Amino acid sequence: KIKFVCLCLLIINVYGSLFGLFLGPHYTVVVNSHQHAKEVLLQRGRDFAGRPSMVTTELLTRGGKDIAFSDYSPLWKLHRRLVHNSFTLFGEGTSRLQDVVFSAVDSLCSELMSNGSRGFDPSAAVTRAVTNVVCTLVFSSTYRHGDAELQEVISYNNGIVETIARGGLVDIYPWMKVFPNSSLRKLKECIAVRDRLLTRKLEEHKASLAEGDPSDLLDALLKGKKGGPKSHGLEGEGITDDHVLMTAAEAFGAGVETTSTTLLWILAYLLHHPEVQQRVQKELDENVGADRAANLSDRGHLPYLDCVINEGMRIRPVSPVLIPHTAMTDSSIGGHAVRRGTRVLVNMWSIHHDPQNWEKPDLFQPERFLDDQGNRATPSCFMPFGAGPRVCVGESLARLELFLFLSSLLQRMSFRLPEGAPPPNLQGRLGVVLQPMPYEVVVIPRPGWEGGAR
């Protein structure tokens, strides 16, 4: 492994917090400071809005027919706008997302409480609940626990996440794909299962597409792609069925692992800090009470819960170096020339742990997101979703999900460590996202919520 690292990493330039290295043949600049990140993402966001082409992501996205791994182009911009508008349909201002999440929360709470006073690992149940939300948003299917189709979605997603996470030399040296490669074979198998399922859903949606409001993301994309490229002022091919399919696939790829892992990090920190959990519950008791479920209209009255969510994403950003960017033109960072084609990694971990930006950055202190008057305050060096032209397209969706999941969970139950168990290991392991090591919890229903749901 060390030999491999030596082969691939050759740090050749260090400019203070900025350094350049060769990852195999690819010259890559790593940005470690807030100032430089702002240049890359915002001030010169267009210059650095490209994405590198990699063997695994090309396979995953039918050659960049998605949003996240597609290079910057007029068609990508149109596609991104269409997806953004479609998400907005289900996002803030509508009660639809809230209903979808509530239904997943009810099943999740019942499932968690069915363990009684036994310790258990919450990760599978949390991932299942978040997957269920995405399935409803993308193609209107809502599954019960144990449903075979939901299991199929979870299983191919896990397969993709595992193989991509294992990474590999093919993404650094693409010519290596000619050699037998079991990870690549597994990835192709999972993609084939994914595509069969999503194609079936797409065909069903095409057959039933009706006038009026779209009922899910597939409907919205099918309606939005009508009109062809010319109507959008584009030459050549416009948004195709492949784009629609890859967008649906990406809602799972980008939306499940990130959201469920963020929830698991926050739960892990709450187990370390029972006083924080109690303070959130006190805020919920005072502002919502126990007679009804917390909902989106309560958000303005729950600033401390928001701080806990932010602090979780600060201290353990699930995407610690974002997604690699590339320079689309000759440009500069911090006054240093950066050539077109250079890969750029924005080290959000380092920005979120920089003692110049954060007091005692290694401590979990949600109050740091409150100002002197007790109002929410978000420093500009807090960027868990990135920023600029490539900012996460699911940010508002993710924030809504995090709020609704956590407010409901903490209103209905308390999380404790099993008797004698050590608190969760907070070091994390890096796969597709930065995940906590597995840990166990015991859940204790709060008064009035003994069944998990009402």
Instruction: By CB under 6 A, name the binding residues for ligand HEM.
Output: 67-68, 80, 250-251, 254-255, 258-259, 262, 318-319, 322-323, 384-386, 390, 392-394, 397-398
- Asked if 310 and 334 touch (Cβ cutoff 8 Å), the reply is no
Nearer to ligand HEM, 312 or 452 (CB): 312
Which single residue brings its beta carbon nearest to ligand HEM? 394
Rounded to 5 degrees, what are φ and ψ at 14?
A: -125, 120
Provide the 3-class DSSP secondary structure of residue 257.
helix
Smallest gap from residue 398 Cβ to ligand HEM (A): 4
Which two structure tokens, joined as six digits, stand for 204?
A: 């069903």
Q: Which helix (H) or strand (E) holds 22?
A: strand 18-23
CA trace torsion 54, 56, 60, 61 (10° rounding): 10
Q: Is 307 marked as binding a ligand?
A: no
Smallest gap from residue 401 Cβ to ligand HEM (A): 7
Smallest gap from residue 187 Cβ to ligand HEM (A): 19
- Asked if 134 and 256 touch (Cβ cutoff 8 Å), the reply is yes
Which two structure tokens, joined as six digits, stand for 337?
A: 């020339």
Residues constituting the chain: 454
Q: If you ran DSSP here, which 8-state letter would residue 19 be given?
A: E
Smallest gap from residue 7 Cβ to ligand HEM (A): 26
Which two structure tokens, joined as six digits, stand for 266?
A: 């926050």
Work out the angle at residue 410's Cα, subtended by the Cα atoms of residues 405 and 413, and round it to the nearest 5 degrees.
115
Work out the widest C-alpha separation in the chain, in whole angstroms.
Answer: 66
Smallest gap from residue 154 Cβ to ligand HEM (A): 16
- Angle formed by the axes of helices 123-139 and 217-225, nearest 10°: 40
Smallest gap from residue 45 Cβ to ligand HEM (A): 9
Nearer to ligand HEM, 184 or 331 (CB): 331
Cα–Cα distance between 47 and 72 in angstroms, integer?
10
10-19, Cβ contacts within 8 angstroms, sequence gap of 24 or more = 15/334, 15/336, 16/334, 17/350, 18/333, 18/334, 18/336
Smallest gap from residue 282 Cβ to ligand HEM (A): 25
Smallest gap from residue 155 Cβ to ligand HEM (A): 20
Rounded to 5 degrees, what are φ and ψ at 178?
A: -70, -20
Neighbours of 251 (CB within 10 A): 24
- The strand pair at 429-430 and 331-333 is best described as unpaired
Nearer to ligand HEM, 255 or 452 (CB): 255
Cα–Cα distance between 357 and 364 in angstroms, integer?
15
Nearer to ligand HEM, 156 or 452 (CB): 156
Nearer to ligand HEM, 41 or 113 (CB): 41
Which two structure tokens, joined as six digits, stand for 124?
A: 């599978």
Smallest gap from residue 329 Cβ to ligand HEM (A): 17
Nearer to ligand HEM, 139 or 385 (CB): 385
Rounded to 5 degrees, what are φ and ψ at 449?
A: -120, 30
Nearer to ligand HEM, 214 or 255 (CB): 255
Nearer to ligand HEM, 280 or 313 (CB): 313
Nearer to ligand HEM, 368 or 390 (CB): 390
- The strand pair at 331-333 and 336-338 is best described as antiparallel
Annotated binding site: 392
Q: Which residues belong to the annotated binding site for heme?
A: 392
